[in-house]
Amino acid sequence: MKHTWAMAIDLDRCTGCGACVVACSAENNVPTVGEVEAGKSRLMQWIRVNRYWEGEFPEAQAIYLPIPCMQCERAPCELVCPVYATYHNEDGLNAMVYNRCIGTRYCANNCPYSVRAFNWYDYKWEKPLDEQLSPDLTVRSRGVMEKCTFCIQRIRRAKETAAEEGREIRDGEVVPACVQTCPPGAMLFGDLADPHSEITRKLKDPRRFRLMEHLGTEPRVVYLKRQKGAGR
């Protein structure tokens, strides 16, 4: 069965806590670069929580916008890679082949969401942190690009389990690390190809919008607008 994986992020529920960032880094062997490198704007995080301010000081309100890879249907990054290191896989996800990447960084330039992270160095995990590295995916070497994969290792595992048991993947069986962790439950992951899945129902919400829709990238991450009203 073909899948159309998608993510919904309810901005009305997001508190900007950043748990998704931590969960993602732990799950995907994303290095922490330290204060100095972070100051140089070289964070490796695959998902970031943008914070914008609305209004002037006493009434200022923070708006949070978690940004993972949008897994665009018409992905600008894939087009410009000279060696097919990033490509569209059978599930419609933007996959990244680390071993193929030569590091032109063109994909990252062409990503309007700036979600791609480049390995500026060979990052090291100090002992005993190296023990926590996930064996399900590689540690990337210097000079290659990386980005959110919708936790492709979890999708693969769910597919294998389902195949072993001779059934389809159940709704809610695949949960990326960020979605699993989100304390206010602002994130939801699922298969849009399944007409009865929770995400299919959720995305009928009139609050839905996609980031920078005018660019025609057709993102697979859909946001639900913040609601205004009493009590806020």
List contacts with another protein (CB under 8 A).
Answer: 37, 40-43, 48, 50-52, 65, 67, 76, 79-84, 100-106, 108-110, 112-114, 117-122, 141-145, 212, 215, 217
CA angle (185 as vertex; 207, 42 as ends), nearest 5 = 90
Least CB distance from residue 44 to another protein, whole Å? 9
HEC-encoded secondary structure of 137-200: CCCCCCCCEECCCCCHHHHHHHHHHHHHCCCCCCCCCCCCHHHHHCCCCCEEEEECCCCCCHHH
Burial (CB count <10 Å: 0-12, 13-18, 19+), residue 219: buried
Which C-beta is closer to another protein: that of 214 or that of 232?
214
Which C-beta is closer to another protein: that of 83 or that of 129?
83
Region for residue 128 given its phi and psi (left: phi exceeds 0; alpha: psi -120 to 50; beta: otherwise)? alpha
Least CB distance from residue 20 to another protein, whole Å? 16
Least CB distance from residue 60 to another protein, whole Å? 16
Which C-beta is closer to another protein: that of 113 or that of 174?
113
- Alpha-carbon distance of 47 to 150, in angstroms, equals 10
Least CB distance from residue 72 to another protein, whole Å? 10
Which C-beta is closer to another protein: that of 65 or that of 162?
65
Residue 220 has φ and ψ, to the nearest 5°, of: -90, 0
Region for residue 3 given its phi and psi (left: phi exceeds 0; alpha: psi -120 to 50; beta: otherwise)? beta
Which C-beta is closer to another protein: that of 102 or that of 163?
102
Least CB distance from residue 202 to another protein, whole Å? 25
